A and B are shown apart, each in its own frame.
Chain A
Amino acid sequence: MNSKAAERVLAVILFWAVAAAITYVFWWMGKMSADDASALVTAPNFSAVFAYWGLFFTFFIGLYLGMGGGECFSCTLEGDQTFSPEVLRKACGTAIAFVGTAVSVMLTTRFAQYGLPEGAFGLNFTSGSQVLSLLPLHWGFVWLVFVQHLRLV
């Protein structure tokens, strides 16, 4: 296997390893809660949560950061160049997207409380299948597309 093919295989493993890790974190958060109804990853939504996070990291790591041979494949450090402009640009874009996502998730969950009769936490579409675990990635998509297509950095 040549080095490009190896990087592509590693990229796919990375997408799904990160997706699995985040799914596990959301599942673990539910486990830590005493209330079963607030579980974030349950039988009905586990597959969707894992798939959407895998989709997000395929987009973020593969298409935005260019790991595995995309647009940014050659943006590695060269010679005495400590930080290449491309790496800095991607790092800034990623930081903006992550901060924007955190703020957006915080605001939308905050406002969602007022939309529910009991003042419940998060966006509860159906009992036992909260979508809070899907909220960050949807905002992440929005912010990454924002950063990339509006060329914020």
Chain B
Amino acid sequence: MSRTAGKIGVVGVVVILAAISTYVMYLLEWTVRGSDTAQGLLGLDICLWVIFWTLCLTGYWGLPADKVPVVRKIVGTVVILALGLAFTYVFKAITPAIVGGAVTGKVSEVYPLMSLTYIAWSLVFVMTALWVGSFYSKL
């Protein structure tokens, strides 16, 4: 029963964290707004944040578990999100030199997939953490 409660608890935390993450994207104006397609992209945003937090909490943290190195995992999660942010901005900056076009100006107009790009890089690093964790358990 306690194991079931733990799983339900993890699902609840995933949903809450995904909602908070999506709301932060909205506040930062990194989501597409005001167009017919915005709702579809918002749905994709929510879905990908759910996937990210599911991978992070169940895969990287290993929840639900009896013992979790909480401090280490919090530091790891912050590093994953920070690396995702860094790569989002680095690739935003170098994109015109690679494929052309312009990315300067109001983010929601010139770079409408900013939120999806940030989740993409965050997913990259959580997946990399899972891969590294498959042969190095101290991550």
Contact = CB atoms under 8 A, between A and B. Distances in A.
A and B are partners in one complex rather than unrelated chains: yes
Interface of A: 4, 8, 27, 41-48, 50-52, 54-55, 58-59, 62-63, 66, 68-71, 73, 125-126, 129
B121 A43 contact: no
A51 B98 contact: no
22 contacts: A4-B135, A27-B99, A42-B99, A43-B95, A43-B100, A43-B103, A46-B91, A46-B95, A47-B91, A47-B117, A48-B113, A48-B116, A48-B120, A50-B91, A51-B121, A58-B124, A58-B128, A59-B131, A62-B131, A68-B131, A125-B37, A129-B112
Contact of B120 (A52, A62, A71): A52
A99 B64 CA distance: 35
Contacts of B128: 58
A43 B117 contact: no
Contact of B112 (A4, A44, A55, A68): A44
Given A47-B88, A69-B134, A125-B40, A55 B95 contact: no
A55 B120 contact: yes
Contact of A42 (B35, B87, B101): B101
A68 B128 CA distance: 12
A58 B35 CA distance: 34
Contacts of A48: 113, 116-117, 120
B127 A58 contact: yes
Secondary structure type dominating chain B contacts: helix
Contacts of A70: 131, 134-135
Interface residues of B, number: 33
B101 A126 contact: no
Contact of A63 (B96, B120, B121, B130): B130
Contacts of A42: 99, 101
A69 B132 CA distance: 8
- In the A-B complex, the 9 residue pairs with the closest CB atoms: A43-B101, A69-B135, A47-B91, A51-B120, A62-B131, A70-B134, A48-B117, A55-B124, A58-B127
Interface in B18-67: 32, 35, 37, 40-41
A44 B128 CA distance: 24
Given A51-B120, A51-B121, A126 B112 contact: yes
A33 B134 CA distance: 42
Contacts of B130: 63
B120 A47 contact: yes
A111 B70 CA distance: 46
